[in-house]
């Protein structure tokens, strides 16, 4: 939390500008991009908070690239974020969960590429459970020709220049990083501004909460089954049994993990042999946040942000959270990798 010395209200815009001034020669374009996302987040937050009385709940009748039914609020969030990013003419393309291919923006010479999950956890929209937006920003590689190609967007997570999420819950919280730590901002609806609530947040090295959809237990690898049994065993010295918490909105589960520590897991399974969560606009940006706060993210073998993408909608398993918790699960996965299932 902020100290008394730091207790003066500082808005997201002020914070972004102050950090930009730390870099000689900074052009301000990335700062503008982050402010654009903040503006879109305010509009989405407003609609989320009054969704039940504006006929924006429910399905719109279409499906997205993943075959999932699209909610009306999904499309609204997608439109608001893309529109906000297009206005400042510094983004050349957007890749969104709600669009099959790349979305070309008005400025083909824009230097940034942005990945979006406009409304993560949309299955929770109609039951008033926390949902969120996720964003990931890359620099476009310079080329002699200015034609936009999907391959321009296929960059590993280590090349992100910024990433973050917005959580629409009991309050609206924006978290972002540019590789210099993680800062949290809370939306004050009375003045319509995101206010700095925590700078340079550090997550615990260890936590006693695990988050996974245990309904898929029978389709997991043996190593993961053994790890979950380990989490459930009583051992006062090591703080077990752990508490199980699973919201079903990745942003909400990751935000809790960031604050309280522990681990979030979405593994591969019989139904999703390559995992279900999307590498580029879910796992990479949230891994960037968690790593910048002192945590760890892996696909079970490799660091998430070092995976080389081959598709913009690529899927991956993920084990993400406090460093010690992730290291523990990796030991189980390795130990039981060659052991046949019972």
Q: Which two tokens stand for residue 57?
A: 């709940």
Q: Which whole-number Å values give the CA distances from 105 to 56, 110, 243, in the listed order?
A: 26, 8, 45
The answer to whether 269 touches 317, Cβ cutoff 8 Å, is no
Q: Which two tokens stand for residue 249?
A: 């909105």
Tell whether 170 is in a known binding site: no
Tell whether 145 is in a known binding site: no
Tell whether 107 is in a known binding site: no
Tell whether 4 is in a known binding site: no
69 bridge partner residues: 63
Instruction: Name the nearest CA neighbour of 170 among 49, 271, 257, 52.
Output: 49
The answer to whether 81 touches 117, Cβ cutoff 8 Å, is no
How far apart, in whole angstroms, are the C-alpha atoms of residue 219 and residue 275? 12
Instruction: Name the nearest CA neighbour of 146 among 119, 108, 176.
Output: 108
Tell whether 121 is in a known binding site: yes
Tell whether 246 is in a known binding site: yes
How far apart, in whole angstroms, are the C-alpha atoms of residue 274 and residue 94? 24
Q: Could you tell me the maximum CA-CA distance found in the chain, to the nearest angstrom?
A: 63
Tell whether 197 is in a known binding site: no
Tell whether 242 is in a known binding site: no
The helix (H) or strand (E) run that includes residue 332 is helix 323-335
Tell whether 272 is in a known binding site: no
Tell whether 215 is in a known binding site: no
Tell whether 119 is in a known binding site: yes
Q: Which residues are annotated as a binding site?
A: 97, 117, 119-123, 213, 246, 276, 282
Q: Which residues are annotated as a binding site for substrate?
A: 120-123, 213, 246, 276
Q: Which residues are annotated as a binding site for Mg(2+)?
A: 97, 117, 119-120, 282
């Amino acid at each position: 939390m902020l100290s008394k010395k730091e207790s003066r209200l500082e808005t997201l815009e002020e914070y972004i500008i102050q950090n930009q001034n730390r870099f000689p020669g900074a052009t301000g374009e990335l700062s503008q991009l982050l402010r654009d996302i903040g503006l879109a987040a305010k509009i989405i937050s407003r609609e989320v908070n009054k969704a039940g009385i504006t006929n924006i709940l429910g399905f719109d009748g279409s499906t997205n690239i993943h075959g999932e039914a699209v909610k009306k609020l999904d499309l609204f969030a997608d439109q608001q974020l893309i529109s906000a990013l297009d206005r400042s003419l510094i983004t050349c393309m957007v890749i969104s969960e709600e669009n099959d291919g790349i979305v070309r923006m008005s400025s083909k010479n824009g230097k940034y590429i942005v990945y979006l999950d406009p409304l993560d956890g949309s299955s929770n929209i109609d039951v008033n459970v926390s949902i969120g937006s996720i964003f990931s920003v890359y620099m476009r590689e310079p080329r002699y020709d200015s034609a936009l190609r999907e391959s321009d967007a296929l960059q590993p997570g280590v090349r992100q220049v910024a990433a973050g999420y917005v959580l629409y819950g009991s309050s609206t919280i924006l978290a972002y990083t540019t590789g210099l730590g993680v800062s949290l901002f809370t939306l004050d609806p009375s003045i319509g501004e995101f206010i700095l609530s925590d700078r340079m947040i550090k997550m615990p090295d260890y936590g006693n909460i695990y988050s996974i959809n245990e309904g898929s237990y029978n389709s997991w690898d043996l190593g993961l089954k053994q790890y979950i049994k380990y989490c459930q065993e009583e051992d006062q010295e090591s703080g077990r049994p752990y508490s199980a918490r699973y919201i079903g909105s990745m942003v909400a589960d990751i935000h809790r993990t960031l604050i309280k520590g522990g681990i979030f897991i979405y593994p591969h399974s019989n139904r999703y042999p390559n995992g279900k969560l999307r590498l580029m606009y879910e796992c990479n940006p949230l891994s960037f946040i968690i790593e910048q706060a002192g945590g760890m993210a892996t696909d079970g073998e490799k660091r998430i942000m070092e995976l080389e993408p081959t598709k913009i909608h690529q899927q991956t398993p993920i084990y993400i959270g406090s460093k010690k918790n992730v290291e523990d699960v990796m030991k189980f996965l390795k130990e039981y990798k060659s052991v046949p299932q019972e």
